[in-house]
Structure 1
């Protein structure tokens, strides 16, 4: 995709929604949805395109205008929790916080997920400095915040431990550990569940793609789950009211 025409490059994008489940509520376990960016061409996340866009202050601002319109329309349609992803690179731009400020009337509905990806220049060894400052600004707008894919990328234990007082949720994904046996993945989950309990934050386990993992999480009383076994991403029009 060419970067010369911002209207044309963003017209190829759409959002899908993957349900978030809370199995402590058996009557209606879907409590929210994570919004996922996709392209009409591939139906998957446009990694290369997105990475190029967020390196440009101008293109990032254009993307956020499109994003705001889509998110606002969803929030006006449902009372469920809506989780949106913010790449750390986007935290360098004032436009990112301006978009969130325009959405702050929906602060009770929105969960702001900071993804695990590195920035340019790299903040891998000292990501907590940028993230701490940014999360404080986000929380001033009364949003709940989450750290995505803990244990991977910039979200190492060393980096995130200093952020826990300002974070509401951590998300652990099994998708980065597909090479491990289930028993080994459960050991990692046990650690992060105990860590979340100690730090008094919620944990959502992503990548629940098998009935065995779903069962084992329920046995551990880990009720907040997300994954293809539970539900594939759905159309925005199918989000529950």
Structure 2
């Protein structure tokens, strides 16, 4: 492994997992329940997603193998510690290119009924794999769906998760997620029209529809009044280390 590779793998030692609930609201009084928890990666250096380090880890097979080994261990701990929780895991399109990713997916197959796999919006790094038409025609969604996992298209309308991608994979999608972060700078009425259109599509094809980026009660209640009752964001709860894992993290790191 090169010196640069050693540095990147060392950076992995700074990673830890947090969870953020996806909330299902039952009424306009904000009576909510947790549908499932999205599993997110954070770095101890700044408690943010380590974007640059993560992208370097998945840009080649050897580094991705090391990352998957780490993630598998940490995620299995969550599965064992919280046997009644449902979890969402994010997989970058680039990672589906590597056999070790699929070995990991196969290893968690016994728990597939409580695991959703989110395909992120990132455009694959590998040039040979980057052509969107190729990814559209050979999406991993159909394989994941047949295996029994809930399939999720993350951050629709951004990156490679376009309307075309959704339209080409209608039969293999269980949930769509859209983030209000992508609409910053636009007027509220314009944002609402986009949400309404995607929500209409989701209803027609019986997809769950989650709005991310909810950071205040006004936004939450406004969307609930329009039927958008699956939400995620700081208003409901910030990403956090699940209580039972906090002591373990302190001991390890």
TM-score tier, shorter chain, comes to over 0.9
- Indicate the residue corresponding to 1:83 in structure 2: 88
Q: CA 1:173–1:196 in structure 2 vs 1: closer, same or farther (change >3 Å)?
A: same
Query: Post-superposition shift, 1:123?
Result: 2.6
* 8 Å Cα contact 2:216/2:235 also seen in 1: yes
Q: SS state of the match for residue 171, structure 2? A: helix
Query: Post-superposition shift, 1:200?
Result: 1.4
Query: Post-superposition shift, 1:129?
Result: 1.8
Q: Decide which of 192, 211, 219 is 1:186's aligned counterpart.
A: 192
Equivalent runs, 1:1-241 vs 2, <5 Å: 2-4=4-6, 8-24=10-26, 29-78=33-82, 79-119=84-124, 120-121=126-127, 122-131=130-139, 134-237=140-243
* Structure 1 unaligned residues grouped into runs of 5+: none
Q: SS state of the match for residue 3, structure 1? A: helix
Distance 2:216 2:186 in 1: 14
Number of residue-to-residue matches in the alignment: 237
TM-score under structure 1 length normalisation = 0.92
Distance 2:216 2:31 in 1: 22
TM-score under structure 2 length normalisation = 0.88
Q: CA 1:238–1:216 in structure 2 vs 1: closer, same or farther (change >3 Å)?
A: farther
Query: CA-to-partner distance for each residue in 1:172-194, whole Å, 9 max, x for gaps?
Result: 11111111122221111101110
Q: CA 1:181–1:126 in structure 2 vs 1: closer, same or farther (change >3 Å)?
A: farther
Bigger Cα displacement from structure 2, 2-11 vs 155-164: 2-11
Query: CA-to-partner distance for each residue in 1:128-187, whole Å, 9 max, x for gaps?
Result: 1232xx122222321111000011111111222010110100101111111112222111
Query: Post-superposition shift, 1:238?
Result: 5.7
Q: CA 1:7–1:90 in structure 2 vs 1: closer, same or farther (change >3 Å)?
A: closer
Bigger Cα displacement from structure 2, 210-219 vs 84-93: 210-219
Question: What CA RMSD, in Å, does the superposition of the two structures yield over aligned residues?
Answer: 1.9
